[in-house]
Chain A
């Protein structure tokens, strides 16, 4: 039998889809033990001293990037932030070249956010000596957000097993929704998705979730109302919804709707919020809201993830996979020509 920590050994964190129940629970527990560090007067531990973490963000992000940065720094890692606007991509360098270049500087971990689904899996094929953490890839996965949410739920009396989480909003374009749907199947909580047909992905029932179009009907029996951020430009540009006003009326969470929920139902949001669109201020700021707890727990689980992954990648070599591939092709072609 391998210990839980040995089972934890994996080089990359692409998504919830790759993880077992035990691995998810182990990361959440590790995260729980890190909460206390951030509450100390001196918020520093030597765990990752001598490790290098690069945050490579091709999409705007405040909380996720900051969260990874603080997580790394509190554990004494050297953390470098690169955002797309300041990187070489604006000079016409390809994504792969940027990633290969950074990997050649021998970081232990590359934390990547990109608008293209599958970016981390794609890059990992070419960067065998770096650990890659997915900080959000298109509408695919956002694993550290889900670990964050699970930690927040774990600190609740209800826990997460057996609860009903009702996720409301643009399910079609939400990586958070997808990752929760995968986690729910592994960890045994129920998910209800609430959205108009224009914001639901094809065959979402494959995840075993309940589908609602009427928000009011989905609220009773919910333990968590999980409100997704509405990207307002996306909503109206492709005719997914006629107006923000009508969206709020149909799918926004306000005090009146919250009254339909049970006494222990809490409200969560991955942020950043659009007050008055998917959530009204009185709900966001109410005692039911766990939104700022999520932010705090986000730092803790990212500490857990960086700790788990740092040092799992094999030692670097001179030859990159791309060079090997090119050489193999040239050899084969040379024989033919």
Chain B
């Protein structure tokens, strides 16, 4: 019987309303009632002990684009960031639109054994937005929600049917809300900076109009609808109103959207290019306000690894996306320091809230739960070096910047998989 004792840390377990100095006792990979001596002990005094983080929006690139990332490197990046469960988006090659591919991804993640991977199934075959996938079959294979992420489900008729069908079985539809007619050719937020740089912009209204339409369709279908990576003031307000109306509408924010603005693009920085793009300070404040009042209940990274060659070709040609798993926690901790969210609520956005939304058996330190744990020092300062990321890709806007908050240990099923800056296993 393997046992592990985490001693004297500040245990924050939002699912159970716990925030106190306590010990955590782990027996055979599960959280157990307080026990006696353990074979291994971790001194967590001065550290925060919380459930392993959940990142419900990542791109792992396997199968199909393994030079950017694969399930193993993505898992290593995850545990280095304190993440022990992640949901991967279906825009792989082949797509996650058949049960076989979904099973393959889950199986490969199990072999790697560092981080649980919960696939998000495709809404439409080949992400073409025309015919629906066999969602029930994908769900049985292990998909936890559905999205065409990377693409919006732009066709109103298809979106209506997708929401109605998903609602029939209580599945969640996650939308990449982008009106492609309005964002066509754009490579950053449309506004002051895009005009200075002389590049085509992606106007905020291109997100707002899609969210607005979707909310109306979700109401019609009585469906559970989730806006991925929300980035505009207008979209946050639309979701807030929908929730006030009692609709089953939820949303997530990515750390870059509440930490950075379009100013990052000055100098044509392709490592600050993603979709939806970094917006204005006003939008950033609106996302922060959405997190504060609970309109936005989840923080998810939209971890999107790309090879240097896809970024080194001029801003308007560069691929969309940045890596995020390894910077998620320190960047998000800024919200606690700035008084936006108390620590427990902040941790809930990366643990119990996504778990509840996706019905995941994760994100809690309840007795008997799998011992997935993140132990971090909220005050430790370090400098992010793109060359030292565990991800295969290095497309991060935070290179060279000081981070506050560092993951010290990550524990998966009772086994220490990350400590002292190294992935174990």
Which residues of A are at the interface with B, using a C-beta cutoff of 8 A?
17, 94-96, 114, 116-119, 121-122, 126, 137-141, 175, 178, 201-204, 206, 328-329, 331-333, 336
List CB contacts (< 8 Å) of B380-404 with chain A. Answer: 385-388, 390, 394
Q: A118, B314: Cβ atoms under 8 Å? A: yes
Q: Tell me whether B387 and A329 are in contact (CB under 8 A).
A: yes
- Give CA–CA (A148, B201) in the complex, Å: 30
Q: How many contacting A-B pairs (Cβ < 8 A)?
A: 78
Q: A336-B388, A336-B390 are in contact. Are A118 and B199 (CB under 8 A)?
A: yes
Pick from A96, A122, A138, A175 the residue with the most CB of B within 10 Å. A122
| Other 8 A-B pairs with CB < 8 A, given A94-B309, A117-B315, A119-B314 | A114-B314, A118-B268, A118-B314, A140-B197, A140-B199, A201-B194, A328-B387, A336-B388
A114, A119, A204, A328: residue with the most chain B Cβ atoms closer than 10 Å:
A119
27 contacts between A and B (CB under 8 A): A17-B196, A94-B309, A94-B312, A95-B313, A96-B312, A96-B313, A114-B314, A117-B199, A118-B199, A118-B315, A118-B316, A121-B267, A122-B312, A137-B198, A139-B199, A140-B198, A140-B199, A175-B198, A178-B195, A178-B196, A202-B190, A202-B194, A203-B192, A206-B196, A329-B386, A331-B387, A333-B387
Whole-angstrom distance between the Cβ of B351 and the nearest chain A Cβ:
27
Q: Report the Cα distance A175→B198, complex, angstroms.
A: 7
Q: Do A138 and B316 have beta carbons less than 8 Å apart?
A: yes
Chain A CB count within 10 A is highest, among B194, B197, B388, for B197
Chain B residues 175 to 210 lying within 8 A of chain A, measured CB to CB, are 190-192, 194-199, 201, 203
B33 part of interface (Cβ distance < 8 Å): no
Chain B residues within 8 Å of A, Cβ to Cβ = 190-192, 194-199, 201, 203, 267-268, 270, 309, 312-317, 385-388, 390, 394, 422
Given contacts A140-B198, A141-B198, A206-B192, contact A121 B385 (CB under 8 A): no
Q: In the bound complex, do residue B388 and residue A94 qualify as a contact, i.e. CB atoms below 8 Å apart?
A: no
CB neighbours of A95 from chain B (8 A): 313-314
Minimum CB–CB distance for A180 against chain B, Å: 13
Q: Which of B196, B315, B390 contacts A122 (CB 8 A)?
A: B315
What are the 5 closest A-B residue pairs judged by CB atoms, nearest first?
A118-B268, A140-B198, A139-B198, A332-B387, A116-B314
Residue of A nearest to B423 (CB): A336
Known contacts A114-B314, A116-B316, A116-B317: A121-B268 contact under CB 8 Å = yes
B390 cross-chain contacts in A, Cβ below 8 A? 336
The CA of A139 and the CA of B309, in the complex, are separated in Å by 24
Known: A122-B315, A332-B385, A336-B390. A201 touches B197 (CB 8 A): no
**In the complex where A119-B314, A122-B315, A336-B390 touch, is A201 in contact with B309 (Cβ < 8 A)?**
no
A201 x B313 contact (CB < 8 A): no
- B195 & A122 in contact (Cβ 8 Å cutoff): no
Q: Is the pair A138, B388 in contact by a Cβ cutoff of 8 Å?
A: no
CB neighbours (8 Å) of B313 from chain A are: 94-96, 116
Q: For B388, give the chain A residue with the smallest CB separation.
A: A332
Min C-beta distance of A72 to chain B, whole Å: 25
Q: A128 vs B313: C-alpha distance in the bound complex, in angstroms? A: 17
With a CB–CB cut-off of 8 A, which chain B residues contact A141?
Answer: 198
A203→B316 contact, CB < 8 A: no
Q: A95 vs B309: C-alpha distance in the bound complex, in angstroms?
A: 11
Q: A118-B315, A138-B316 are in contact. Are A201 and B195 (CB under 8 A)?
A: yes
- CB contact under 8 A between A202 and B314, given known A117-B268, A329-B394: no
Q: Is the CB of B197 within 8 A of A117?
A: yes
Residues of B within 8 A of A329 (CB): 386-387, 394
* A126 vs B270: C-alpha distance when bound (angstroms): 14
CB distance from B359 to the nearest CB of A (A): 35
CB of A132 to closest CB in B, whole Å: 14
Contacts of A137 in B (CB 8 A): 198
Kindly report which residue of chain B lies nearest to residue A328, judged by CB atoms. B387
Chain B residues with CB under 8 Å of A202's CB are 190-192, 194-195, 201, 203
Whether B191 lies near A203 (C-beta < 8 A) is yes
Highest count of chain A CB atoms <10 Å: which of B194, B315, B385: B315
Contact B192 A138 (CB under 8 A): no
Contacts A202-B201, A203-B191 given; does A116 touch B387 at CB 8 Å:
no
- How far, in whole Å, are A206 and B193 apart by their CA atoms in the complex? 10
CB pair A206 B197 closer than 8 Å:
no
- Whether B198 contacts A178 by the Cβ 8 Å rule is yes
Given contacts A202-B201, A329-B394, A122 and B314 within 8 Å (CB-CB) = yes
Q: Which residues of B contact A126 (CB under 8 A)?
A: 312
Write the nearest CB–CB distance from B301 to chain A, whole angstroms: 20
A94 to B317, CA, bound (A): 11
Please give, as numbers and ranges, the residues of chain B lying within 8 Å of A118 by CB-CB distance: 197, 199, 268, 314-316
Q: Please, how many angstroms separate the alpha-carbon atoms of A140 and B314 in the complex?
A: 13
| A94, closest chain B residue (CB) | B313
- In Å, the complex CA distance between A117 and B190 comes to 15
Min CB distance A114 to B, Å, is 7
**Distance between Cα atoms of A336 and B392 in the complex (Å):** 12
Of A116, A119, A204, most buried by chain B (CB within 10 Å of CB) is: A116
Asked if B198 and A117 sit within 8 Å, CB to CB, the answer is: yes
**Contacts of A122 on B, CB cut-off 8 Å?**
268, 270, 312, 314-315
Residues from chain A with a CB closer than 8 A to the CB of B191 are 202-203
For the complex, what is the distance from the CA of A201 to the CA of B188, rounded to whole Å? 14
Instruction: Compute how far the CA of A115 lies from the CA of B256 in the bound complex, rounded to whole angstroms.
Output: 29
Would B192 and A117 count as touching, CB distance under 8 A?
no
